[in-house]
Copies of this chain bind each other. A is one copy, B any other.
Amino acid sequence: MSRPYHVAVIGLGAMGMGAARSCLRAGLATYGVDLSAKAREQLQSAGATAVVDDARPLAETLDAVLLLVVNAAQVRQILFGDSGLAAHLKPGTGVMVSSTIAADDAAALARELTALGLLMLDAPVSGGAVKAESGEMTVMAAGCDEAFERLQPVLDAVAGKVYRVGSEPGQGSTVKIIHQLLAGVHIAVAAEAMALASRADISLDLMYDVVTHAAGNSWMFENRMARVLTGDYQARSAVDIFVKDLNLVADTARDLHFPLPLASTALNMFLAASNAGYGKEDDSAVIKIFDGITLPNSEGTA
């Protein structure tokens, strides 16, 4: 019997935990890496080969590393910080960076990893925790053929659909960031429209019904405004996530010397919401930046 494929999943949040479980289900020897003891215990009991708070001691065992931490700073810290993992990995190890980061950061990481003989895939994901758990994430990946080949067992385990965006790391991140531009503006304009409906004394339930059956609908309107109708702002994805992602959109546009009238406006709306104290609430709470309206509360009354 051939040696199993060894993968370390670093960052056991909602997405990383689901991805790690999907790797386990696919029969990969899976290691979980997180600073949270609770997250480590959870993956241990799901059958992880081992769980650790520092991956360096297992570096030579690994065929692949999957990073699903919050941002580029964390990715860089883990790979190249004081206790950096990259220098300890075997040449030829696959490094799949699935955090949403700037294209420039992805390209820079790829250069440094390549210099160490490592194979990086710039591979942001979407689909949320549900798709992560079921091994059906959408992956937007860019990298060389060798990187795709090396990471194929991981892609097979975690992805329902892999878009092969290109061979240059950074292109996957760019596609993800442009996707987030749309997602963020759609949430913000859904809030703007429903706030105006409230101001005009239109029933929000009726407005939601009309829009979701007409050409003005979006995936985000349908998903997020259902939460506004019930006044449930418990975060599935927080306002501050879109502050981060729309800042990445803005960074991308600045680097390309390109104007983004709507995305820059939406960023300001999420910033206003965060600045007003709603940063940790669900991103649909961006509607709270509009004053002079009464929204449904969680008791179901307006």
Chain A residues close to B by CB (< 8 Å): 103, 126-128, 138, 140, 161, 163, 165-166, 171, 174-175, 178-183, 185-186, 188-190, 192-193, 195-197, 199-203, 206-207, 209-211, 213-221, 223, 252-253, 256-263, 265-266, 268-269, 290, 292
Contacts and interface: CB of A to CB of B under 8 A. Distances in A.
Contacts of A196: 178, 181, 252-253, 256, 258, 260
Contacts of A262: 185, 188-189, 192, 262, 265-266, 269
Contacts of A216: 179-183, 186, 219-220
Number of this chain's copies in the assembly equals 2
A223 B140 CA distance: 23
Contacts of A217: 182, 218-219
Which 7 pairs from chain A and chain B are nearest by CB?
A: A218-B218, A182-B216, A179-B216, A183-B216, A185-B189, A189-B262, A174-B200
Given A163-B210, A178-B200, A219-B215, A260 B126 contact: no
Contacts of A202: 165-166, 171, 174-175, 178
A186 B203 CA distance: 22
A40 to B, nearest CB: 29
A275 to B, nearest CB: 15
Contacts of A185: 185, 189, 192, 262
A201 B166 CA distance: 10
A258 B199 contact: yes
A171 B216 CA distance: 18
B220 A193 contact: no
A178 B199 contact: no
B213 A138 contact: yes
A202 B172 CA distance: 9
A263 to B, nearest CB: 7
Nearest to A128: B215
Nearest to A190: B182
Given A182-B221, A262-B266, 15 more contacts: A127-B215, A138-B214, A161-B213, A171-B201, A178-B202, A181-B192, A185-B185, A186-B216, A188-B262, A189-B263, A192-B263, A196-B256, A199-B256, A200-B256, A218-B221
